[in-house]
Amino acid sequence: KSGFVALIGRPNVGKSTLMNYLIGQKVAIMSDKPQTTRNQIRGVLTNEEGQIVFLDTPGIHKPQSRLGEWLVKTAQNTLAEVDLVLFLVDAGEGIGAGDRYIMENLKGVRTPVFLVVNKIDQVHPDKLFPIIDEYRKIHDFTEIVPISALKGNNTNTLTNVIFEHL
């Protein structure tokens, strides 16, 4: 099996951390400064199941400049061209304006979208279900996978579920 998987989500949700963890190499730029990932960074995961090419997309956010508009367009085109989209959110922060804006952009996309609830190491398990419910009310996700990209919690499950859909 093989396919292209795009990582989207507002700045700092952990897209680069997840890609680095999954492919086991530091290729995406990690920084506390938002928007460091200007161009698409690709990472390849190969195991006995097959191969996944991850695309760490430039952030989708309300464009405030011509460059911003171009970046958003690029990200939207990517979503249509990949096999699967991973929409990352921060379990500790609830739905913000940035998350809502991205979900607006997902409405017209026919590619399957997984909700990946990251940073579960930072929230009490009891708080996780209410957060997930909030997102489910807004969008019909193909799969919902809670993980910690930093600690590697449940990341194997994520990889397996991705392969199931390729």
Q: Detail the residues annotated as belonging to a binding site.
A: 9-16, 56-60, 118-121
The rounded distance, in Å, linking the Cα atoms of 159 and 36 is 25
CB of residue 48 to ligand GDP, shortest distance in Å: 26
Strand order in the sheet with 84-90: 41-47, 50-56, 2-8, 84-90, 113-118, 143-146
39 binds ligand GDP (CB under 6 A): no
CB of residue 1 to ligand GDP, shortest distance in Å: 26
57 binds Mg ion (CB under 5 A): no
CB of residue 138 to ligand GDP, shortest distance in Å: 20
The rounded distance, in Å, linking the Cα atoms of 96 and 90 is 10
For ligand GDP, which stretch binds (CB under 6 A), given 28-36, 75-83, 109-117, 136-144? 28-36
**119 binding partner (options ligand GDP, Mg ion, none; Cβ < 5 to 8 Å by kind):** ligand GDP
9 binds ligand GDP (CB under 6 A): yes
Residue with the closest Cβ to ligand GDP? 14
- Select from 80, 90, 68 the least CA-distant residue to 146: 90
Residues paired with 2 in a beta bridge: 51
Identity of the residue, 2 or 31, whose beta carbon is nearer to ligand GDP in the bound complex: 31
Angle in degrees, CA 85, 66, 101, rounded to 5: 40
